[in-house]
Amino acid sequence: MMSRQIRLIGGVLALLLVALLVNITVIQVVLARDYRERPGNQRILLAEYDRERGPILVGANPVAKSVETGNTLRYLRTYDDGPLYAPITGFYSLIYGATGLERTENRVLTGKSDLFFVDRISQLFAGRQPVGGAVTTTIDAAAQVAAFKGLKGKVGAVVAIEPTTGRILASVQSPSFDPNLLTSQVPETIRAYYEELKADPAKPLLNRPIVALNPPGSTFKLVTTAAALASGLYTPDSILPGPAFYRLPLSTSELQNWNRKECGPDGKVTLERALAISCNTAFAWLGVQLGDEALRRQAQLMGFDTSFQIPLKAATSRFPAELDAPQTALSAIGQFDVRATALQMAMVGAAIGNNGVTMEPYLVQEVRGPDLAILQTTEPTKFEAAMTPLHAAQLTEMMVNVVANGTGSNAQITGVQVAGKTGTAETDNDRPAVAWFVAFAPAQNPQVAVAVVIEESGATEITGNGLAAPIAREVIKAVLR
């Protein structure tokens, strides 16, 4: 009989079936995402244009919303003040995918989040398209506008944080881009604009406030000071050596102060004064005394070496591992391989202002359903206790002194005590120095901490006080108004 042969053929056919099943699983599960995101896949384009996507709100004001068009592609995504909010909303392009909150909150905005479970069930039975939910951001429109104005014509970023909660009040970049031009319904314009943005050497598509890493320069002295206070060996009044030049340990290189002068009479200076005038030699010496381990620990308590999702993925600011003495000296003044985002330096200011407690930064305040009922509210989360309240208060005093009597004079506001710190960092390559300013105010009860970083300005003299402090001042004024 031929049964044996038929069974064998049956076995071969079963293998073919398995091949079909495996192949289709690979397509629909493993490769599906890649296929969906391929340029030229109109399905996603049409499906997305066909449904109303929820808005992204600043206060009660939608900064990204879907508008009914009345033609075949039923909805168009529009951004009021697109370039202003671009680092927050990101763009939602059917050719280049999505970035920013448009990407991270996609499931909420499309109405596919599990938060809408009940809605989805009723939609299933009604056969309706899911309707998107709304995302309310933590952004303060006034602060955002003030920062945007200040950055005009420069290359840089501003981040403002509410110290007690970690709410991000402003996240601004320059140059920015207009997300409206990436969501138009004409693929050619989208492509042309995207190519133009990509070719721009100033990288407008980079989410500068949370992704661009720069040496923090003298603003890092805040961390060094915090470490010094934490060691118990130093107080604001401790006397440090502050010569005009400092010979790096084990090396022939010399470090100099920005004005090439001694920081005090006989090359001696108090810790408080050293911070106020940003004395490089004193802090380099201090860093070596404290050791890289203490600096690193202090930096990490304030958010270095941690990747934050706000929910946008921020770059990890870093304090390098395994430092020898000269490298430690340079790191203590925010040079060598220390790198920080504007977000990170705002967190440092916020932690000092918040009695030494670092909060997790966040950008999404609430998620609302299509009927605007609040479905989820973000609760402030403590990241680490970075300093004791006493040390935080001492450091705050020292920072107030920086603005009142030191290098940060441009941040002064009549009637408000501003605590701040300037920074001017050398970068490794031929690029101009980076100007920083980190501040919070009012000093005793801070409502806002802000970090400003200017990478390029066209100005010949680059200092944190000259370029960055005025912007920080305007942002603080906007929040306190």
| Residues recognised as catalytic | 218
The reply to whether 121 sits near other proteins by the rule CB under 8 A is: no
The reply to whether 4 sits near other proteins by the rule CB under 8 A is: yes
Closest distance between other proteins and the C-beta of residue 386, in Å? Answer: 44
Q: Which stretch binds other proteins (CB under 8 A): 10-18, 83-91, 210-218, 259-267?
A: 10-18
DSSP class of residue 409?
G
* Contact indicator for 97, 189 with CB cutoff of 8 Å: no
- What part of residues 300-319 is at the interface with other proteins (CB under 8 A)? none
- In whole angstroms, give the CA distance from residue 439 to residue 170: 14
Closest distance between other proteins and the C-beta of residue 12, in Å? Answer: 8
The reply to whether 5 sits near other proteins by the rule CB under 8 A is: yes
- In whole angstroms, give the CA distance from residue 150 to residue 479: 15
3-class state of residue 349 by DSSP: helix
Total residues contacting other proteins (rule CB under 8 A)? 38
The reply to whether 23 sits near other proteins by the rule CB under 8 A is: yes
- In whole angstroms, give the CA distance from residue 25 to residue 231: 58
The reply to whether 68 sits near other proteins by the rule CB under 8 A is: no
Binding mask 71-100 for other proteins (x = CB under 8 A): -x----------------------------
Closest distance between other proteins and the C-beta of residue 16, in Å? Answer: 5
Closest distance between other proteins and the C-beta of residue 51, in Å? Answer: 11
| Sign of the CA dihedral running 80, 84, 89, 93 | positive
Closest distance between other proteins and the C-beta of residue 65, in Å? Answer: 24
User: For other proteins, which residue of 47, 118, 121, 233 counts as binding (CB under 8 A)?
Assistant: 47
The reply to whether 114 sits near other proteins by the rule CB under 8 A is: no
φ/ψ of 339, rounded to 5, equals -135, 140
- In whole angstroms, give the CA distance from residue 88 to residue 30: 30
3-class state of residue 168 by DSSP: strand
φ/ψ of 63, rounded to 5, equals -95, -15
- In whole angstroms, give the CA distance from residue 243 to residue 90: 48
Q: Are strands 56-58 and 134-137 parallel, antiparallel or unpaired?
A: parallel
CB of 71 or CB of 414, closer to other proteins: 71
Interface with other proteins by CB under 8 A: which residues?
1-7, 9-10, 13-14, 16-17, 19-21, 23-25, 27-29, 31-36, 38, 40-44, 46-47, 72, 127
